[in-house]
Amino acid sequence: MQKKLALHNSFDWLMALLSCVGAVAVLQTFIIGKHYIIPTVILVLTVLFGNLAWFGLHKRKWANLVNFWIGFLLTAHCFFALFWSVKYRAILGDQFELV
């Protein structure tokens, strides 16, 4: 039996997590925020991420490649945003170079 929670499925689970967060965001903006255009855009991304997660967990090669590159770009963006951010340099001061 194959394990679903494994390292090679991590990007698929990341897409599933993003689709769950998107579903909650759609509900929050539609019901609480009383917006109508914003939840539609978020819903499109939620459906896209949900489909990528579904097909990725079912071992479709194209979905695994798309999930990998989305995860790679997201990781690279977060890494560079962390180290080139002015905010964290101001908070940490001289200790930023040690971090």
* Short-list 79, 23, 29, CA closest to 53: 23
For the segment 53-80, what is each residue's pLDDT rounded down to a tens digit?
Answer: 889 888 899 988 998 898 889 888 888 8
Structural domain that includes position 82: 7-96
For the question of whether the overall pTM of this predicted structure is more than 0.75, the answer is no
Please give the pLDDT value at position 20: 92
In a domain, 34, yes or no: yes
Q: Average pLDDT of the chain? A: 81
In a domain, 92, yes or no: yes
In a domain, 1, yes or no: no
For the segment 47-58, what is each residue's pLDDT rounded down to a tens digit?
Answer: 888 898 889 888
Rounded to whole angstroms, the Cα distance separating 8 from 57 reads 10
In a domain, 35, yes or no: yes
Token pair, residue 61, equals 């090669």
3-state SS record for the chain: CCCCCCHHHHHHHHHHHHHHHHHHHHHHHHHHCCCCHHHHHHHHHHHHHHHHHHHHHCCCHHHHHHHHHHHHHHHHHHHHHHHCCHHHHHHHHHHHCCC
In a domain, 51, yes or no: yes
In a domain, 2, yes or no: no
CA angle 41, 46, 50 (to 5 degrees): 155
Count how many domains the chain has. 1
In a domain, 43, yes or no: yes
